[in-house]
Amino acid sequence: MSARDRAILRSLAERIHPGDAGAHNNLGVVFYQKGLVDEAILAFERALELDPRLEVARRNAELAYRETGQFERRVQRLRQELEANPGDPSIRDALARTYLLGGRPAAAAREWASLLADRPEDPILHLKLAWAESRSGRPDAAIRLAERAVALSPEDPKARFEHASLLRLADRLEEAERVVRAGLALDDELAAGHALLARVLEAAGDEDGARAARERAEELDPSARRQERHLSLEPYLAGDEPGDGESGSGDGESRPGGEEPETVAGPLGPFARAMRLRRGGDLDGAAQTLERALGDGGDFAARQALAEIRLLQGGLDQAAEAYAALLEEEAASPKLWNERGVALHRLGRLDEAVEAYRQAVALDYDYALGWNNLGIARAQRRRTRRSGRCGRPRRAARRRRSCGTWGCS
């Protein structure tokens, strides 16, 4: 890249809203497209600092790390530095952040817990560990850590917002509303707090209250009115070409993957090769490539991609089991819950599918695909109960497109 192009990109970075997580995520995608991988990862990290719930930024960071080989190199380098300087907290903190962004939240939690043992009065460390615990599927532990962070910094409204966010993810909505209102009582001028209150009230079914909170957030921060697309690296790494258009099929189908926003290209590692084979229709080749890439390491991203391919192949029992195993490691992922729901849905296990979709939308109330799939599954369950066929296995393999559902992208 020319010096002029670099200067233009850095000028763009300076002009984006410093508190806009989505803008930082999108900037990271642009950096990655231009080959500025280090800058891209920093942008994704900044997006997640601003909004730990921004799933697309977390996934982008994980892909950027994995596809460039930077994850393994950075972990190795940081561990070597830590061995040489075991008392340096900044190195251990960097290692924890790398683990979290690389899709290993349990490893991140161990590193932050080690730091917290030496600095038990640090509220920021409590919150970092809380999000790692949440990502590891331990919501109660995460909430207790956030409560402690609030106790350590009672005048900090942002600590209360983090606590409220974790309560919301755990579907403890009354508590979440009480905590976020307590934060706003400390500073009523924080747009992020009103936006969070809107999401909590919307999840609780209070549409009027949610609308008022959203209007207040937009009044304080006009940029909140923008409905920008959050860009993703994933489909280009899977071999999509520019101009493929939107992923929506227009026929009300449920899909395992969710949105496919605009994307950028990356290095052709095993994951990308498997995705290219998948896009070319060679599902067996894609599965074999991922199985070889897994080896003994158990890479999370590869296992997730393999589960999705099993679903496309019609290996529904295998897919359902694979998603259950993935959710044991990352129970706070709405995408994984939705995809497990699709597998169960096709198997005709409608009660379990409904529950999986419910978990997806409880974690992300704005997850339109999850709501769509939940509505379809509930309607089919009502029909099967009325016809006296509740509980019988559906012939999913032979009736893959029954009732216009379950198309996979």
Q: Quick check: 359 and 344 in contact, CB under 8 A? A: no
Q: CA 241, CA 30: separation in Å to the nearest integer?
A: 16
Backbone angles phi and psi of 187, in degrees to 5 = -155, 100
Give 407's pLDDT tier (boundaries 50, 70, 90): very low
Q: Quick check: 130 and 166 in contact, CB under 8 A? A: yes
pLDDT in tens, 258-289: 333 333 333 335 665 676 666 667 778 878 87
3-state secondary structure 177-193: HHHHHHHHHHCCCCHHH
Task: Classify residue 314 as left (phi > 0), alpha (psi -120 to 50) or beta.
Answer: left
pTM of the model: 0.58
Q: CA 286, CA 262: separation in Å to the nearest integer?
A: 23
Q: Quick check: 300 and 333 in contact, CB under 8 A? A: no
Q: CA 145, CA 61: separation in Å to the nearest integer?
A: 25
pLDDT at position 400: 38
pLDDT of 246 > 50? The answer is no
pLDDT at position 267: 37
CATH number of 275-398: 1.25.40.10
pLDDT at position 5: 63
**For the chain, what are the domain ranges?**
275-398
Q: CA 39, CA 55: separation in Å to the nearest integer?
A: 19
Tokens of 246: 């939107």
Q: Quick check: 265 and 33 in contact, CB under 8 A? A: yes
pLDDT in tens, 288-320: 877 776 764 556 767 887 888 888 888 889 889
pLDDT at position 38: 83
